[in-house]
Amino acid sequence: MEKSDQFSIDKFYYQEISALTEAGGWSVDFKNKTSHFDHQARVILDVPKDYVPTLRSGYTFYAEEHLDRATEFFFGCAEGKPFSTEIKMQTYNGEIFWAIAKGKPLRDESGEIIGIRGVFRKIDEQKKREQQLEQSLKLIEGHNSRLYDFAHIISHNLRSQVSNLQMSSALMDRSTLTEDQIELVNNFEKIGNSLDVTLQHLNKIVSVHNISNTKLEPVVIKDVYDRVVAGLNQDIRASRAVMYTEFSEVEEVMYIEAYLESILQNLITNALRYKHPDRDPEITVFTYEENGKKYLMVRDNGLGIDLEKHGKDLFKLYKTFHGNKNALGLGLFLTHNEVQAMGGDITVESKVDKGSKFIVTLQ
């Protein structure tokens, strides 16, 4: 194959790839003091057919607010520093668009820089979607912040009223009351106690939002586990639970310690509370690393959960699944929120009468 034929083939492939990726190419020759736009660059920039680019006119294709950045990148590249950046450009007719631009110096055989060659690709739609997403996230954050502030205010303002209601009903002399009046007072007392529990739950939920701004610190997982198990020691002994642990693969994690303690507390407490009546509980807690991510797993041999029936409600507030009168439906809800507040995720595998396995993505 002759060189001219090979050149034609290479040129064809280059043009097809350029059109397919919608990337335009440009170059600057310092020795001959010339500039060049390839076909795709001319299409993107919408230049006239007879337009001849020059060193001086090249700057006119950058938006005014990014002109200084473009100049800095160009002169840096002329000194041997390649660049890759997102930058605002503009067409020949002044239409602004976002582009990803890359450039690198061209050298001769002696290593002297004789020019610059670069490519750019229009990412206007992608950038608009990113900006819309960012605005949506800010809007959601604002709504969430106001919601938690409102919850905090409600909790604070109701606390004293609930306390007064409980105290008044407790101090009332029932010996002078009729049966109907006693029933009414008892109902008031139940209402006060119920409101008090609800406020406690609300405070816990609000605390998830407040603590999420805490600075992350190295947390030794075994130390937190030991503290949780010490607090649950009586329940563990009463249920004759056997605990298995292994933290050697991931011993430490950057986390909010209070969150990790709460997560372990809730998952281990659930494993004890929903033990199978025909066998002693066996609870396994261990950490591992996979594909660059760190995980915490808590597995039990308890009652298990019917995920087909309850899977969609598993982490919702006040949802319970075993008919336990003492169940509040708060633990998994808080655990889910704490894990998500740390940027992680929690998944569950479970079979009825076999047990459950919760996997928390730590980092």
Question: Is residue 221 located within the same domain as residue 200?
Answer: no
- Asked whether residue 360 carries a pLDDT value surpassing 60, the answer given is yes
Q: Which of 94, 122, 150 is the last residue of a domain?
A: 122
Q: Which of 211, 241, 263 is the last residue of a domain?
A: 211
Backbone angles phi, psi at 229, to 5 degrees: -65, -35
Please, what is the angle between helix 179-211 and helix 331-341, to 10°? Answer: 20
- Asked whether residue 281 carries a pLDDT value surpassing 80, the answer given is yes
Of residues 132 and 20, the one with the higher pLDDT is 132
Question: Is residue 324 located within the same domain as residue 188?
Answer: no
Of residues 158 and 327, the one with the higher pLDDT is 158
Domain of 155 in residue numbering reads as: 129-211
Q: What is the pLDDT of residue 3?
A: 43
Question: Is residue 86 located within the same domain as residue 29?
Answer: yes
Question: Is residue 103 located within the same domain as residue 186?
Answer: no
- Asked whether residue 283 carries a pLDDT value surpassing 90, the answer given is yes
Question: Is residue 158 located within the same domain as residue 30?
Answer: no
Number of folded domains that form the chain: 3
Q: What is the pLDDT of residue 200?
A: 67
How far apart CA 281 and CA 293 sit, in angstroms, is 29
94-125 burial, b for 16+ CB within 10 Å, e for fewer? eeebbbbbbbebbeeeeeeeebbbbbbbbbee
Question: Is residue 146 located within the same domain as residue 230?
Answer: no
